[in-house]
Amino acid sequence: MLVVWNILIVLLTVAGMELFATFAHKYIMHGWGWGWHRSHHRPRSGWFERNDLYAVVFAVVAIALIALGTAGMWPLQWIGAGMTAYGAIYFIVHDGLVHKRWPFRYIPRRGYLKRLYKAHRLHHAVKSREDCVSFGFLYSPPVEKLEATLKRRQSATPGAAKGPGDAAPVTPRES
């Protein structure tokens, strides 16, 4: 029965991490943590960007939880395992599929992955920290809703979707 609880804790942690990551992305990364996250909204030169420091911070927390859990503080190791699983999914989907930081070049044509891909491309259509849409990594609202929100924001305040020195927002390509 303990195995079932441990699996449930891992799965709930993965779901909880999506909620936390959405909040952190919107209010921390696009707020006071923009100094690190800005690099993610600029063309990358090289393998790493300053934004990768967020992954390091979350990895350290997960490692600490696993260490505490294996030292007897159940269920911390399973929470750390859930954080690690979320990080792996994030790394594959976000860094690999969306941002092409993996050697494969796959662009989904339908279904869930296409929705995630397009939603994140819409998030990056705005180069500043304001007026972005879709802050989740594994969940996104319907793309049509995101496009309407982005269009409404851009037409309501011409130039508001751009930061100083930023290029005009672009519509994501499906190619």
The string of pLDDT tens digits covering residues 10-34 is 999 999 999 999 999 999 999 999 9
Task: Tell me what percent of the residues of the chain surpass a pLDDT of 70.
Answer: 89
Closest CA to 121 of 99, 149, 144, 92: 99
* Two tokens, residue 76: 């911390």
Whether the predicted pLDDT of 106 surpasses 70: yes
Whether the predicted pLDDT of 70 surpasses 50: yes
